[in-house]
Amino acid sequence: MPQDISCWQKIETISRNIFSLYNYQEIRTPVIENIALFDRSLGESTEIVQKQMFVVKNKEDIYVLRPEGTASVVRAYIENHLDKTKGLVKFYYLGPMFRLERPQKGRLRQFHHIGVEVIGSDSPALDIEIISLAERLLKEWGICDYQIIINNLGCTEDKKELIRILKQALKNKINRLCADCQQRYKRNVLRILDCKKNSCQEVVTKLDIRQSYLCQSCQQHFTAVKVGLDTLKINYSLNPYLVRGLDYYTRTVFEIRHAKLGAQDAIGAGGRYDNLVRELGGPSMGAMGFAFGVERLMLVVSCQLSVVTPNNLVYLIFLGDNANKEGLKLLDILRKSGISCDTDYENKSLKGAMRKASDLGAKFVLILGEDELKKGVVTLRDMDSGEQKEVKAEDLITELMTNVKIQSTK
């Protein structure tokens, strides 16, 4: 609704400014994609692919409303041969995503992401930039009380090892897990680690997993990332149970949580996906990104960012047929001069139209009736002071310009 949009726009404007500071460029991908893209990238056993995709069936093809942006950006990168022409790219995007979930506070079926994707680097310096960019955004949006949680899932081989360790460790505890996790044990054992149910938490927190599954190279990568974040004085906590719900993640994963949000406490999340470009048909390239959920951001920032923009509206009231005709031109001239104005389209009486002007918070009211037309003037009423005077038609723009801040970019 309009009262929320000023806050929403503020979030977007701040984000665009920060992205530009970090040299990211905007990419816009379609909201509809072939289903195969997400089956292949997010993983067939993930919750999104299993249960949450809005499917659009054509005669032969099956499409979905995109549940997230990363896979689409990678598809666009490959299709446009950017690996050959550009190499490393730094993209950001803002837009709607769709997931067929049970709606609740902070969980919607259409929601919006503000995200970034960088394709073309294996360097831990990229992980540091991405996490520090996420933190910079949080600060600029005026959000406090957030927590950045980090983990390293390792490369493909390490992830296999982690899955093996987990399967082994949970083998005799399956019946203590919730029904969903009993299924996950077969299809997606990693997700058991971040199940929120008490019964599963009790089992999981007793597992000693640490980072024993990480190969030397992934360990070095992780150390370099932590050192970089420490150098930048970024506050984070390590959590070996953070696995994230999408299969494409490798190495660094992170999540940003906010205490104010309750059950759906993640306001943003991201990580590396070093195999995804290759898996979707491109060359082998390191990549990383994150996405914030705008509606969840709104839940934590709305009070702080809803700045009251000064209302410089001029409200025009025309009385009679001739005035209506002249008024049409006047409205057009004022708008072309960059003055924000509106008029009555409901045939209200003078009293009713004045009330409407006041409801809209208009700064000035202009009244044009038969009398004014004859004299070549317009009655100008200052709504704050209640003062009223006649202004010559030819002086009107200058008079308004000196009092009203111009709304347009002129």
Q: Using CB under 6 A as the criterion, which residues of the chain lie in contact with ligand HAM when the complex forms? A: 68-70, 99, 101, 106-108, 111, 113, 115, 117, 266-271, 289-291, 293, 295-296
CB nearer to ligand HAM: give 48 or 357. Answer: 48
Residue 299: CB minimum distance to ligand HAM, A: 10
| CB closest to ligand HAM, residue no | 293
Q: Which is nearer to ligand HAM, 75 or 99 (CB)?
A: 99
Nearer Cβ to ligand HAM (268/327): 268
230 Cα distance to chain centroid:
27
Question: Count of CB atoms within 10 A of residue 308's CB?
Answer: 7
Q: Which is nearer to ligand HAM, 69 or 327 (CB)?
A: 69
Query: Which residue number, 107 or 260, has a Cβ lying nearer to ligand HAM?
Result: 107
Instruction: Tell me if 66 sits within 8 A of 29, measured CB to CB.
Output: yes
In whole angstroms, how close is the CB of 94 to ligand HAM at the nearest point? Answer: 12
Q: By C-beta, is 291 or 316 nearer to ligand HAM?
A: 291
Min separation Cβ 245 and ligand HAM, Å? 6
Provide, rounded to whole angstroms, the least separation between the CB of residue 109 and ligand HAM.
Answer: 7
